[in-house]
């Protein structure tokens, strides 16, 4: 059985390949992640600046995913392999 990739991974890869609608998919993924982070902060952390901290954390994760998969795509394209 093969597991489905995480939605945030799919959104990042689609964005890097400039797939139509990928910007909207990535923004949706970013907002959903922000909500999850916000819930964690609200339950276990300081709720002051909750929205700012949730969105900020989500943006940093998204930037990391874009960098990480961008590097893999460059390596695959350089080797002639398909994604």
d(CA 46, CA 16): 34
**44-56: pLDDT as tens digits:** 988 899 999 999 9
The model carries a pTM of 0.84
Distance of CA 52 to the CA centre of its chain: 17
**22-79: pLDDT as tens digits:** 999 999 999 999 999 999 999 998 889 999 999 999 999 999 999 999 999 999 888 8
Q: Tell me whether residue 70 is exposed, middle or buried, using C-beta atoms within 10 angstroms of its C-beta: 0 to 12, 13 to 18, 19 or more.
A: middle
Nearest of 43, 36, 32 to residue 10 by alpha carbon: 32
On the question of pLDDT at 81 being above 80, the answer is no
Between the CA of residue 5 and those of 12, 17, 68, 71, what are the distances in Å?
Answer: 11, 16, 15, 18
């Amino acid at each position: 059985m093969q597991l489905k990739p995480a939605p945030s991974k799919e959104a990042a890869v689609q964005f890097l390949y400039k797939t139509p609608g990928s910007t909207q998919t990535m923004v949706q993924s970013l907002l959903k992640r922000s909500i999850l982070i916000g819930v964690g902060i609200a339950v276990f952390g300081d709720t002051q600046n909750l929205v700012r901290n949730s969105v900020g954390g989500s943006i940093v994760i998204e930037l990391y995913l874009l960098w990480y998969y961008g590097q893999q795509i460059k390596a695959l394209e350089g080797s002639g392999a398909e994604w």
